Amino acid sequence: MVLNRRRTDAPPPVSQPPHISERRKVKREIRARRHHLDHGPSVAGKKRFSLIYHINLIVHLGSLLFSHLIRGTWTWVYMLFRLFMFVIFLLPGFLVMGTYYVRGPIHNVNYFIPGITLGKQSSRHLLDIYLPTKKDDDDDDDDDDDDDNDDDDSGNDNENDSKPKAPVIVFLTGGAWIIGYKMWGALLSRALCPHGVLVVIPDYRNFPQIGAEGMMGDLDMAVEWVKLHIEEYGGDPDNVVLVGQSAGAHLGSMLLLTKSAAAARADALNTVNNFSFENLIDKGEDFDLAIERNVSEESFSEMTETTQDSTNSLDNLGCPDSPTNSNKRTGSSWKPSSLRGWIPISGPYDLVGLSDHFQSRGLDKRIIDWIFDSNLSKYSPTHLARNLADSSVNLSNYFPPVCLIHGSNDVSAPCSGGVEFGEALRGLKIRCETIIYDNMTHTDPILEKPFAGDQQLHRDIYEKMRLWCEKGEERLIEFDDSMPTCVRVAPQFCIDVARACNPF
């Protein structure tokens, strides 16, 4: 009987030198930290991607959505067919867009922060990060080579610290509050990242998973995450521009208005509560003379009443920073005034006036009522801005500059609504510029025109970044339409037919 014995002549196992084993341990820790930062903890006790979990989620939400659709207008069937044809004819462009989306960003970074939004963590609480890809950076070996020999694709930390931080765009996608997805902003990233811009596109829950307040909370949380963590990816948290399209423009406008108005309200109440006539009296000055020199009791009373009136419109809003909602969540810490700018594109800003119009376009009133809690006025940015203006609220110091963009041929959210919203913002002393694109539809600026090589929207956004961001004209080169990522990717014939089929 032969026993399996270890060969006595076999060489002993080679032990790694202490410095090598320690270095490998550090590498594993770096990779683990990076994986946690990029992908976050598990969702609902599951792994980052569980096929069974997502199939169950899609089936459940899909059946719930279908149950709402069949009880309302059937115009959506016709619109769905037009959407299908729209995608078919633009397939050459969508293939380029999809390829870039798969290869371009850092995918699925978890941005969930407890205490800001309604509900629990969801698989929609993820965002994509598109890093700048300037030509100068591509020629720099330090960007692609790992000079610190740590097997970590983040490169040399010392070199990253010395590089200037990139200005950031946070893009809020549209989708009629139902079909929004973070992929919809890939074309914007494809055009702007080669010019040195870092683009963040957060996903957020849609109907029927959550209503408008939850959507606003998700976006509030995403901006909070960007402010806290984007520097770790080379972005500049002090130079962030918010951009939103369609439903994203609506939700972003509501979020900024409610947060800025709440900040103004808090400052006004703090001013009144800390007001003391004794503090106005110089040493040895007569009290009556001090009142006459500074403020009368009557004007002080009027100021108190005005302050109270200016905050009444927020009492029942339920915004993330509103005191009436403090029992639900703590809210975020970022302020709208910390943003460099806000660019809403083709947004529906007056839901009250658009309710019948949405019905005729296939978006049933029952669904709209569910999304907005049967209170369209409460979630209409134009109405909120007008109410605040009627209460003599001045948001000039609390709101970032605005560039409102709309297409003149928009049939989903008519151009007149954008013009009225711009006027309402100016009534709050907010710096607001309105740009109307002649003969453009709801999706022309973000899809058809970029597919044809017309980057007018992306150029305008980029120029606003150069204007608003600190040293923007020095840090950002002029927009170059000749870049490979800005040229035509679809035949004009396909684009023309797709525009005729476009349901939006």
pLDDT in tens, 443-476: 999 999 999 999 999 999 999 999 999 887 888 8
Residue 182 is predicted with a pLDDT of 93
> CB–CB of 380/306 below 8 Å?
no
Contacts of 196 (CB under 8 A, 6+ apart): 132, 134, 166, 167, 475, 476, 477
User: Is 12 within the bounds of a domain?
Assistant: no
* Identity of the amino acid at 271: T
pLDDT in tens, 361-381: 888 888 899 999 999 999 999
Question: Helices (H) and strands (E) in the chain — how many of each?
Answer: 20, 8
User: Is 38 within the bounds of a domain?
Assistant: no
Contacts of 236 (CB under 8 A, 6+ apart): 165, 166, 167, 168, 230, 469
What CATH number has the domain bearing residue 487?
3.40.50.1820
User: Is 197 within the bounds of a domain?
Assistant: yes
Distance (Å, rounded) from C-alpha 240 to C-alpha 197? Answer: 10
User: Is 43 within the bounds of a domain?
Assistant: no
Residue 474 is predicted with a pLDDT of 80
User: Is 422 within the bounds of a domain?
Assistant: yes
User: Is 297 within the bounds of a domain?
Assistant: no
Report the DSSP pairing between strands 126-130 and 106-110: antiparallel
User: Is 164 within the bounds of a domain?
Assistant: yes
User: Is 303 within the bounds of a domain?
Assistant: no
Would you state the torsion angle of the CA atoms of residues 448, 90, 411, 375, taken in this order, to the nearest 10 degrees? -110
Domains identified in the chain, total number: 1
Q: Give, for 256, the enclosing helix (H) or strand (E).
A: helix 247-273
Residue 107 is predicted with a pLDDT of 87
Q: What is the mean pLDDT of the chain?
A: 78
| Residue whose pair of structure tokens reads 């380029």 in the numeric block | 96
Q: Give, for 343, the enclosing helix (H) or strand (E).
A: strand 341-345
Q: Which of these ranges, 72-76, 130-134, 300-304, has the smallest mean pLDDT? A: 300-304
Could you tell me which residue, 93 or 284, shows the higher pLDDT?
93
- Which structural domain range is residue 347 located in? 51-264+330-501
Alpha carbon 218 to chain centroid, angstroms: 9
